[in-house]
Structure 1
Amino acid sequence: MPESFFTEITIPLQKTYNAGHLFPAVLSPNPNKQPSNLSLLTGAIKAHKPWLQSLLHKSGAILLRGFPVTTASDFNDVVEAFGFDELPYVGGAAPRTSVVGRVFTANESPPDQKIPFHHEMAQVPEFPSKLFFFCEVEPGSEGETPIVLSHIVYEKMKEKYPEFVERLEEHGLIYTRVLGEEDDPSSPIGRGWKSTFLTKDKSVAEERAAKLGMKLEWTGDAVKTIMGPIPAIKLDKTRQRKIWFNSMVAAYTGWEDARNDPVKAVTFGDGKPLPALIIHDCLKIQDEESVAIPWQKGDIFLIDNLAVLHSRRPFNPPRRILASLCK
């Protein structure tokens, strides 16, 4: 039984949703068993993967806390134990660095910057179904990774702004971003086109963009990427509910740097501008419904990218969160 190794615990700030599911679910080692070590943990994950997947399906996110995971390499072993296929980070916006195996740094933008709620890579057609985050270095203070259930955001927005949501469902969204040649770590969307398309060759970048359905407009060494129209609302088929699957709020309030104006970064799929008041109210709804659990060293967050949006609060260094994306 998985309960012989894992104990489901409750911690402050969790929320309870339909049918009494806790969000997120939190697992710790069973205190009545021998102290856990890394190989026992990876063995238990492999042995109880169907149970863990069922828990993730019910809750949307699982926090593993109190296990002996201390290094990036340990974290990579845990990700591997789950057995999900790796998703390469092609088309994403965040500046990141590869660390070991399937592990890279989470967004490396400056600590004073908030990263708004988004589904990972919602602005491109091929996005991860699951994300792992790992706290290698606990934040000096703040720096939580708040999460919110996507279908709750959809339901609240549909109730409050039915016509706006109808337009979103009908037209989708277009995302526009200007990329420099190299990465700009001072920007939350500072990934350059070489890193974005994993090439130094403009013609290869063109091919990879075309596969994503993305249009490129070159101006010297910089390029404007135009993505869409793509859907802003999706059906989560496994749970049979509609979800708020987009990067609208993140783009409109956060895609700002020397090259980019966030208000122009996202429009309705017919090219018409989005209403600022509704976008900012959506951000408020996301904040109100979210859960922000302070990171502890060794924490691993497994997030269902279809069910849950995530964000990042500003922080006082140090803080090092690592990530891994899965198909």
Structure 2
Amino acid sequence: MVTDTTWRPREVTPQGAGAEASPAGLLDLLGRLDLAELLTAEKALVFRGFGVTPGTHGSVVDALLPRRLAYVHGNSPRTKVGDNVYTSTEYPAEFVISMHNELSYASSWPTRLLFYCEQAPHTGGATPVVDGALWLRSLDAEVREAFTAGVRYVQNLHDGYGFGKSWQDTFETDDRSAVDAHLAGTGAEWTWTRDGTLRITHLRPATVRHPVTGAEVWFNQADQFHFAGLGEHGAQVREVLPEEELPQSVTFADGRAVPAEYIAHIQETGLKLAVDVDWAAGDLLLIDNVLVAHGRRPFTGRRRVLVAMSG
């Protein structure tokens, strides 16, 4: 297994960048940077010390992500708090969120993610990030080979009552025809059941290549769709629901079950290789969503981190 890495996100501070330590200073700096080239080269950027507040956050987000995307077909629980700005995944503080690339199970995904720390937790709560090419190289050859043909995802999105997210929350609409239009042409197969549940099956690759660098990266959420990757919560849901009715599940491309030990290996490898980005209020983290996967460490106290996405 490959475990050595010296990669870390590039930290940008007022002192290091020769900029004023203020939101205005950050905006001026961004106007002088070739952000696309810098982000591709560095994979992730952390902006610290610019004093970005909730009141100035909007202008900074507009500068960094001028064409933001809605979180349509997203599977994690969030609250929309602004113009395509959301809370980060609302998952109990005591749990780890494993490494993943946003919407890697879908037919399209954001190219950039921007995180903003409005309130840092009392302890913990870092956002770990991992180089996706390193993650891929570090997986056992047996696991990589097993996923060569891709990943088959299944989602059961209820009509308002049940486990997991509803289809209305997932697609930010209560119009079935709008959901049909969104899914058309994505390669997914879907059906509406009698009780209003939307069942989606989607075959997606396990790896992709970055459109600029050509780097091949581990790029799927097999572990987060698999009950074994959800710990006690996954086991509890599986006890009360048959597998075909789980909110989400995953198999190999040919329909064979993915062994639980493969899931554990994938999650443990990603988290072991990850670099933690610790938060202070006002910090921002911009990542290339293909080159870098992210997660969340457990925390205590109130933690409020917002996220926005762009194509």
When structure 1 is superposed on structure 2, of 233-242 and 59-68 the one drifting more is 233-242
Stretches of structure 1 that go unaligned for 5 or more consecutive residues are 1-14
- Structure 1 residue 326 corresponds to structure 2 residue 301: no
AA at the equivalent of 1:61: A
Question: How far off is 1:153 after superposition?
Answer: 0.9
Question: How far off is 1:110 after superposition?
Answer: 2.3
Question: How far off is 1:37 after superposition?
Answer: 2.4
Residue pairs, 1:46-65, within 5 angstroms: 46-48=31-33, 50=34, 52-65=35-48
3-state secondary structure, aligned to 1:208: helix
3-state secondary structure, aligned to 1:151: helix
**Residue in 1 that maps onto 2:192:** 218
**Residue in 2 that maps onto 1:203:** 177
Aligned counterparts of 2:295 and 2:209: Cα–Cα separation in 1: 22
**Residue in 2 that maps onto 1:230:** 204
**Residue in 2 that maps onto 1:137:** 119
- Structure 1 residue 286 corresponds to structure 2 residue 270: yes
The answer as to whether partners of 1:133 and 1:323 remain within 8 angstroms in 2 is yes
Q: Relative contact order: is structure 1 or structure 2 higher (C-alpha 8 Å, sep ≥ 6)?
A: 2
- Structure 1 residue 81 corresponds to structure 2 residue 63: yes
- Alpha-carbon distance change, 16 to 117 in structure 1, aligned in 2, over 3 angstroms: closer
Aligned counterparts of 2:96 and 2:8: Cα–Cα separation in 1: 22
Residue pairs, 1:1-327, within 5 angstroms: 17=6, 22-30=7-15, 35-48=20-33, 50=34, 52-71=35-54, 73-157=55-139, 160-161=140-141, 163-169=142-148, 171-182=149-160, 190-219=164-193, 220-227=195-202, 229-252=203-226, 253-254=229-230, 256=234, 258=237, 265-327=249-311
Q: Percent identity?
A: 29
Over 3 Å off, 4+ runs: 31-35, 255-264
AA at the equivalent of 2:145: E
Question: How far off is 1:81 after superposition?
Answer: 1.0
When structure 1 is superposed on structure 2, of 139-148 and 262-271 the one drifting more is 262-271
AA at the equivalent of 2:224: A
Aligned counterparts of 1:114 and 1:33: Cα–Cα separation in 2: 37
Aligned counterparts of 1:103 and 1:122: Cα–Cα separation in 2: 19
Report the TM-score, using the length of structure 1 for normalisation.
Answer: 0.82
- Alpha-carbon distance change, 192 to 305 in structure 1, aligned in 2, over 3 angstroms: same
Report the TM-score, using the length of structure 2 for normalisation.
Answer: 0.86
Question: How far off is 1:65 after superposition?
Answer: 0.8
Question: How far off is 1:297 after superposition?
Answer: 0.8
3-state secondary structure, aligned to 1:278: helix
Question: How far off is 1:263 after superposition?
Answer: 11
The answer as to whether partners of 1:76 and 1:103 remain within 8 angstroms in 2 is no
The answer as to whether partners of 2:190 and 2:200 remain within 8 angstroms in 1 is yes
- Alpha-carbon distance change, 182 to 139 in structure 1, aligned in 2, over 3 angstroms: farther
Cα RMSD over matched residues? 2.5
